[in-house]
Structure 1
């Protein structure tokens, strides 16, 4: 493993770049093959480079390696090798190339099984993480980001640097004349650039900006419009005492944006520039306690973040202007609340110089974390350690108070810290008001962003932002980022059907995009037909370990039993999920007042949407979002409207909002 100090060398592709020693990883057996895509396409066995054959055979191998352990359709391979006019013998030629590749690569490392297999979905190349640099790169990058989220910035920098040591220049640069391979190469390079930005920001956070300056300069020269790279370069120059050069970087960027795009730099970039004006060198150095640093613990933002412009502007205006100390961002599961909150926090560095911290209020299984556990994590970030107990708790690197007195002392210490500082805390995925009420600032300049599926009406006074479904244009933009604008243009009508079948839910659109990015042979119209089928839509919205049904089920468990029964009845009112109060009254078999209370309980829980403007309850048109509607009908059809089939109810448990009989 290389050390962090090696980071001072030029970025990948620089003139001094040499190939590092082959990493055998866990495969380690004699004859193991190691493949590389992060540079020219290469394969090595026992340290010796293998001849990969003629160019067309290498194109086939590059296409298979870019989709490891995934069936690749024959049509995809054909397009990669013969993009314009494949010969009549294309399939026969492909079989020859596949046969030659089998002979060259030999069996996989799992007991001699075939490495290259053929099935109904196409050809699949079996590959272990230790055998392919892109898989190893992804694992190291994920581990680095996880370390950063835990607050282990030094560990994050080390892991991200190890990932970057695998990047040796423009991916697959020897085969980019093939459009299919070039598209995959561009995607790989974008991933590498993002990891480089993550690493550079970690080094800057550690006060080691000097190791990143030269590499950032070289990458900005190759990617002049990539703003995050340029911001990191400005920060590294500033921290290194080169303020004039840092300001010049911004001025060059502003002129380039005006000349090339007719645009101004983003508000975040302009804010960074203003913060550097009139200030001398303020390089941060490694500190001995969190009280002397500015904690920044934010998840990496998603490159596919799209839309939400009004809501983002609202967040920046309200929090940046110091008008509100608490903002609640609400919406159903998968609406993009966390992504919006993280994006806003990333842009709010200047108003909150004492830190920005993200804390999840639920565990991975969806259950709520205890107040003591959350306070311990906040205390770890911000140096509030006076009241910690000695016994280790479930939070990595933190300890949970062992007694009520210790908890009270830590809560008071947290309030005192907030009163003395100007920091932003994101409390993400909050089940109910009780989980966070004691964490909100009582005084001072600290601010808190709360994200929740429900409205949390018991929190007041707060600024509220409810996330509606994405507009068609925003949803199409998000889908295009995932499958490519060119493919979107091949059938815009089908693309529109896809995003509408997703109900404009960002998670569902993202999952659709992830599926279509893998199933490149699948026509958009065929996938739209699948989503239009109410009995199959939720089955189609699964990509790897990301499942829309799973996310909806988590929200379903949050509902009280009575609310589930009400939602099941309301979901059956109409195909489009819309209903009036009169229809709800009939479906629920109760009086109007009881129906109003039942519907408004679901609005509070984020399960029913209501009009944005003021309108009487009797005249309003309510709606159950399409995918939640489909899920609720599934539960009603199987008689699983209570807690039984989905496990214990978490969050909004207890008696229903109104006494309604299902009989």
Structure 2
């Protein structure tokens, strides 16, 4: 089976093309192919087909279209799961996925300065493009977003190919190829810059200078901006009338905290996160309870992705150390500094959030950068800062699953395993102390709920109090009235983050959490246990648990099971904190 998205929507087998049915049935297929191997909600599919005016029979009609596609493509390919549908497609079956794989390989070759290989791979990817994607199917915002995302990826690949070809001395074909694209995308600065360089190096300097003057006026008139660093460098080359020296490999700005050396475990989670970000065509959302190590893992992954994002890797903190959302003007000031090149004076005055957010999204639309949005509290905050369709990728961390972000790639981070927690403790306090008291060490990390932040605070304190036996400190953590006070070093207190989580809950969620905390903590419990604790029948008890899951307080069960057989795990320190509330 072969599918095409990079042009007219088609599907074919070795026997020939397949009939894809009515307009609305093809709209369903285009939406599923635009998010391959991803569970799409029935609400999203309904919006893709009918936009804002679905008929009363929309859900039934959608089932008819899905049934028709199953008959054409095979029932095992288009699967129904709780909440929606998922289309199973391999990389070789979908042209958009083959395109992405070739572009990744080409960019890796360019990063190694293997330009001949890079040009071949990128050229092969561009030959898969067969015109604007999904002609005749862009009637809804969902499908327009798919088409715009594919177009932006194509333009990014064209820019990469053109830069490589210029380094190889092939200016004339680059100038010819880019002429039409620059007319259709006049505000895409990187595309314009490489086209101007190609014109100059092909002996067409006067055309390049005139095009730069026109572009500068257009940027000022339509966006209120001056040409960026790439265009300015291009202009200097034009004025000097000689080629600039071959630039060093682009690495972009890196605004990340140092990768912590006290990092243990998480090998599988790191590999999964890095892979997800590399393959992402939508935001990657990393969620988990307070203290589970979301920020540390996101920073580690961002450091590992240096070669994948030559235009930069940027961290934007949206919460303070206690987990409180930061003020919009404070975040806007950070964005203004990130948008200011290193060779220009940094802004010092207050920044207007609306204007700065607009500049931020314009920058992301043209740069292959990774932005880590750390500590996102709600969907509205995330949407204001997420990259538009384009080459940039967002990695979002937050306690809640942010369901309003739609078809994001979600990864739930669980607490450490006991061996991982013990490895971190050994790294912080010395392996000899852990080996000398293995039972006490295990009691200690269990009392920390196997949360990396709690184990880290305990380790920092024990490293300073070298005389304190592990067994005595484990006894302190076992005391519910002392545990949270002990997990504090300097101004860093785990209690502060648990307080913030508590105050973010609505009264009904607090009531549920309080009732659960009045029963002794257990590593896992089922719906029957919750019903007894909440004094509720199964259905309302399940609804109450699900509200805690959506609030990011109660981790979601890891496997798809019925409500009566699911097991839930309320973090020990969350349970303890709730129990201590007045």
- Residue 356 of structure 1, CA deviation: 0.7
Determine if the alignment matches structure 1 residue 455 to structure 2 residue 383.
no
Question: Could you tell me which of 234, 242, 257 is aligned with 1:299?
Answer: 257
Q: In structure 2, what is the Cα distance between the partners aligned to 1:380 and 1:340?
A: 25
The structure-2 alpha-carbon separation of the partners of 1:296 and 1:526, relative to structure 1 and needing over 3 Å to count, comes to same
Q: Which moves more between the two structures, 563-572 or 363-372?
A: 363-372
Determine if the alignment matches structure 1 residue 311 to structure 2 residue 269.
yes
Q: List per-residue Cα deviations over 1:368-412 (Å, max 9, x = no partner).
A: 23556534532431349xxxxxxxxxx97463228xxxx2x5444
Question: Could you tell me which of 278, 281, 284 is aligned with 1:327?
Answer: 284
Determine if the alignment matches structure 1 residue 400 to structure 2 residue 345.
no
Aligned length: 345
- Residue 577 of structure 1, CA deviation: 5.7
The structure-2 alpha-carbon separation of the partners of 1:398 and 1:367, relative to structure 1 and needing over 3 Å to count, comes to farther
- Residue 573 of structure 1, CA deviation: 2.4
Q: Which residue of 1 aligns with 2:194?
A: none
Q: Secondary structure at the match of 1:481?
A: helix
Question: Could you tell me which of 390, 413, 416 is aligned with 1:467?
Answer: 413
Question: 1:147-296 maps to which residues of 2 (within 5 A)?
Answer: 275-278=111-114, 291-292=229-230, 294-296=252-254
Q: Secondary structure at the match of 1:564?
A: helix
- Residue 303 of structure 1, CA deviation: 1.6
Q: Which residue of 2 aligns with 1:557?
A: 503
Determine if the alignment matches structure 1 residue 354 to structure 2 residue 305.
no
Q: In structure 1, what is the Cα distance between the partners aligned to 2:277 and 2:228?
A: 23
- Residue 273 of structure 1, CA deviation: 10
The structure-2 alpha-carbon separation of the partners of 1:562 and 1:514, relative to structure 1 and needing over 3 Å to count, comes to same
- Residue 587 of structure 1, CA deviation: 2.7
Q: In structure 2, what is the Cα distance between the partners aligned to 1:449 and 1:491?
A: 40
Q: In structure 2, what is the Cα distance between the partners aligned to 1:357 and 1:561?
A: 36
The structure-2 alpha-carbon separation of the partners of 1:351 and 1:515, relative to structure 1 and needing over 3 Å to count, comes to same
Q: List per-residue Cα deviations over 1:21-50 (Å, max 9, x = no partner).
A: xxxxxxxxxxxxxxxxxxxxxxxxxxxxxx
Q: In structure 1, what is the Cα distance between the partners aligned to 2:382 and 2:425?
A: 35
Q: Retained in 2: the 8 A contact 1:318–1:324?
A: no
Q: In structure 1, what is the Cα distance between the partners aligned to 2:321 and 2:488?
A: 18
The structure-2 alpha-carbon separation of the partners of 1:474 and 1:291, relative to structure 1 and needing over 3 Å to count, comes to farther
What's the TM-score once normalised by structure 1's chain length? Answer: 0.49
- Residue 330 of structure 1, CA deviation: 0.7
Q: List per-residue Cα deviations over 1:610-649 (Å, max 9, x = no partner).
A: 32111111221212111111111111xxx3xxxxxxxxxx
Q: In structure 2, what is the Cα distance between the partners aligned to 1:502 and 1:451?
A: 22
Question: Could you tell me which of 384, 389, 413 is aligned with 2:359?
Answer: 413
Q: In structure 2, what is the Cα distance between the partners aligned to 1:334 and 1:290?
A: 40
Question: 1:457-496 maps to which residues of 2 (within 5 A)?
Answer: 457-496=403-442
Q: Which runs of 5+ in 2 are unaligned?
A: 1-106, 116-163, 168-225, 231-250
Q: In structure 1, what is the Cα distance between the partners aligned to 2:229 and 2:532?
A: 60
Determine if the alignment matches structure 1 residue 617 to structure 2 residue 563.
yes
Q: In structure 1, what is the Cα distance between the partners aligned to 2:365 and 2:489?
A: 44
- Residue 490 of structure 1, CA deviation: 1.1
Question: Could you tell me which of 503, 528, 542 is aligned with 1:582?
Answer: 528
Q: Secondary structure at the match of 1:465?
A: strand
Question: 1:332-343 maps to which residues of 2 (within 5 A)?
Answer: 332-343=289-300
The structure-2 alpha-carbon separation of the partners of 1:414 and 1:575, relative to structure 1 and needing over 3 Å to count, comes to closer
Q: Which residue of 1 aligns with 2:185?
A: none
Q: In structure 2, what is the Cα distance between the partners aligned to 1:416 and 1:524?
A: 53
Determine if the alignment matches structure 1 residue 548 to structure 2 residue 548.
no
Q: Which moves more between the two structures, 586-595 or 561-570?
A: 586-595
Q: Retained in 2: the 8 A contact 1:380–1:398?
A: no
Q: List per-residue Cα deviations over 1:113-144 (Å, max 9, x = no partner).
A: xxxxxxxxxxxxxxxxxxxxxxxxxxxxxxxx
Q: Which residue of 2 aligns with 1:45?
A: none
Q: In structure 2, what is the Cα distance between the partners aligned to 1:370 and 1:437?
A: 16
Q: Secondary structure at the match of 1:357?
A: strand
Q: Which residue of 1 aligns with 2:331?
A: 374
Higher helix share: 2
Q: Retained in 1: the 8 A contact 2:286–2:412?
A: yes
Q: In structure 2, what is the Cα distance between the partners aligned to 1:591 and 1:289?
A: 64
The structure-2 alpha-carbon separation of the partners of 1:289 and 1:330, relative to structure 1 and needing over 3 Å to count, comes to farther
Q: Which runs of 5+ in 1 are unaligned?
A: 1-270, 283-287, 385-394, 640-663
Q: Which residue of 1 aligns with 2:392?
A: 446
Q: In structure 1, what is the Cα distance between the partners aligned to 2:556 and 2:357?
A: 37
- Residue 479 of structure 1, CA deviation: 0.5
Q: Retained in 1: the 8 A contact 2:422–2:442?
A: yes
Q: Which moves more between the two structures, 289-298 or 458-467?
A: 289-298
The structure-2 alpha-carbon separation of the partners of 1:618 and 1:533, relative to structure 1 and needing over 3 Å to count, comes to same
Q: List per-residue Cα deviations over 1:172-208 (Å, max 9, x = no partner).
A: xxxxxxxxxxxxxxxxxxxxxxxxxxxxxxxxxxxxx
The structure-2 alpha-carbon separation of the partners of 1:396 and 1:587, relative to structure 1 and needing over 3 Å to count, comes to farther
- Residue 319 of structure 1, CA deviation: 1.5
Q: In structure 2, what is the Cα distance between the partners aligned to 1:526 and 1:444?
A: 55
Q: Secondary structure at the match of 2:557?
A: coil
Q: Which residue of 2 aligns with 1:231?
A: none
Q: In structure 1, what is the Cα distance between the partners aligned to 2:521 and 2:315?
A: 39
Q: In structure 2, what is the Cα distance between the partners aligned to 1:446 and 1:630?
A: 41
Q: Retained in 2: the 8 A contact 1:608–1:622?
A: yes
